[in-house]
Amino acid sequence: MVFAFLIWRLVDFVVTLVAPRVLPFANFFSYGDQMLRYHVPEYLRKLTNFDGIFFIRIAEHGYSYTEQAYFPMYPLMIRLVGVGLHRPIISGLVINFTALVIGLFLLYKLLPRLTARANYLWVFVFLFAYPTSYYFGVMYTESLFFLFLVSTLYFVVQKKFIFAFSAAYAASLTRVPGVFISLPVLALLISREGRLFPQSLHELFGLLKSGWRTLCVALAPFLGLATYSLYLWRTVGDPLFFISAQESFGAHRSSHLITPFQVLYRYLRIFLTANISFQYFVALMEVFFFAIAILLLAYDLISLLKVKKYQPLRIGLNLFSWTNIIVPSLTGTLTAMPRYTLMSLSIMLVLAELKSRPFKYTILGVMIILHIIYFGLFIQGYYVT
């Protein structure tokens, strides 16, 4: 795991140095120059491209109108850490690095409940090689959310419920999908002796009574979301303003629910009518990642349900992985889908368990190439996900 981590950091560091020499700066976002006042080296400043400025603004000045689309946990932590460092960019990157390292350690400790020991290294290799894993190292919420997700599951398994409750609560204050961390927790709660569901209501109530601590952890994400909604209701008068605010950020998101089938139909029309351009290929890759994620998660779920002895944690993680990609699609677009699939950890487990080593190495090679391309474009201001 350590070797894979170091290789990943080395590759991404080289990309940050080489990309400006081979790609012109596109500046798909109009506020990058605002980061100059923080006086950090250019290769660090470019790690804040796109959403980084919003997290820093919120950390320094609080929410301005429509910035409530960004959940408060990451900006709050930047503010707290920044008290000592007085450099919000450095603070954000330190938080991400620390969260990632701790999250990786806890994932390693959790893997015995998820897959065979022979697959451990492959899980981390695919996680680091994933085309959008560079988001762990830039000013986005991926590292922090990863930590809270893995921490919740690990501490529930270890029956350290206060830590699990805190992590689950914090997850839903970091990103909307944090609410669905309750799914693997509930799967652990209601399954017994290899059975996925209780055989009667009496048994179900008995499980809920005896496992009330686990039930509290499962409810913690909803409490976190309720906390943020209460704040929004008190400040802007709309407890769900984080949804309607999405329309202000130019990602063509809708505040009304749109089914994935409607979204795919929209994309099909785009592919049939639009001119070939950079954005055309971005949209094509969004559909590609969405389709591959669905196929892998469906294969994983079917495989898990076919065995005689169910693995509740693995099934719950699969269900969470589904919500992680389906919920964003309900906004009417697959924008950023390659990034969202990164947190669908069941994908890494499926790939790690592939029997054919040549097939594994082929997938790994494709991932690495896409990773370098995606990160190079990100560094140079091209919006790809």
- The pLDDT tens digits for 215-235 are 999 999 999 999 999 999 999
Range with lowest mean pLDDT among 15-19, 38-42, 124-128, 341-345? 38-42
Nearest residue to 53 via CA among 39, 73, 67: 67
Mean pLDDT of 359-378: 96
Amino acid identity, residue 281?
A: F
CA distance 320 to 145: 13
Nearest residue to 294 via CA among 359, 259, 346: 346
* Helix axes 120-129 and 357-379, enclosed angle (nearest 10): 30
Domain assignments of the chain as residue spans, ordered by start: 2-379
Alpha carbon 223 to its chain centroid, in Å, reads 20
pLDDT category at 40 given cuts 50, 70, 90 is confident
- 118 within 8 A of 349, measured Cβ to Cβ: no
- The pLDDT tens digits for 5-36 are 899 999 999 999 999 999 988 877 756 677 77
Number of residues that this document lists for the chain = 385
Helices (H), 211-311: 212-235, 241-244, 260-273, 278-306
Instruction: Give pLDDT, residue 45.
Output: 86
**Mapping DSSP to helix (H, G, I), strand (E, B) and coil, where does residue 70 land?**
coil
**pTM, two decimal places:** 0.94
- The pLDDT tens digits for 127-172 are 999 999 999 999 999 999 999 999 999 999 999 999 999 999 999 9
Q: Is 331 left (phi over 0), alpha (psi -120 to 50) or beta?
A: alpha
